Amino acid sequence: MLKLGVNIDHVATLRQARYRSAQYPAGNPRELSGAIPEPDPVWAAVEAELAGAHGITVHLREDRRHIQDRDVRLLRQTIRTRLNLEMADVPAIIAFAEELKPDEVCLVPEKRQEVTTEGGLNVAGAPKSLARTVARLKKAGIVVSLFVDPDARQIRAATDAGADFVELHTGTFANARHELEEAAEIKKLTTAAELAHKLGVRVNAGHGLNYQNTPAILAVPHLETLNTGHSIMSRALFVGLRQAVREMLALMAPPTR
């Protein structure tokens, strides 16, 4: 069964837009003024789980622009599904992950100026330290995924680095302007997924998936989890988070005969 990981970063983005100084270094949910910063991404995670989500994804960025350390710690204590922590290959956050022990870590590229992750990790061009990071995280009992473009060179490099999973970057597919372009991207994703499977690496996918394009991505073989957030949070503004998650799950369900 194809699983849904709900990314709740944008709940924290909305909170930080109002409570910009709320960093919670000691896990305190209150600001100096006594106001409780809202909306709380931990609450959103619980709502997503109650609707049937199979996991929760958060990206702890170096600049803490949305998700905070406090959020990840509380999520680890609160959620009953799987916690997938997206992060860059940087020492401080690697140490944080080793201490926290999320169910899964997805290593992603990160730029300060980007609004959201813009492409896959260049595993083939990465220093040898990336393989050491993968080994460290796996030693801590954490499943490790590498976020990569659907490119054979990157898939092979992810295998060489020791990754358990690749998460295929679906952003180019999501930005396809017409059916022929979309079909070409599906073919690339299919080829990449088949290669990963052949090499013994499991396959997830995510980025830019929404209620319109998700049915097409189901043609890609060997997928285990789709990670998506922005579209679900956007839909939730109008129908509520539980309903938004249920609608996405319905799109992902295999057709009944």
Catalytic residues: 59, 86, 207
User: What are 144's strand-pairing partners?
Assistant: 105
Contact call for residues 199 and 162 (beta carbons, < 8 A): no
Number of C-alpha atoms within 13 angstroms, CB side, residue 87? 27
DSSP codes of every residue in 154-171? HHHHHHHTT-SEEEEE-H
Q: What is the biggest distance separating any 2 CA atoms in the chain, rounded to whole angstroms?
A: 58
146-164 burial string, b = 16+ CB within 10 Å, else e? Answer: bbbbbbeebbbbbbebbbb
Which pair of tokens denotes residue 73? 């710690």
Distance CA 83, CA 86 (A): 10
Number of alpha helices (DSSP H) and beta strands (DSSP E) in the chain:
11, 8
DSSP type of residue 46: H
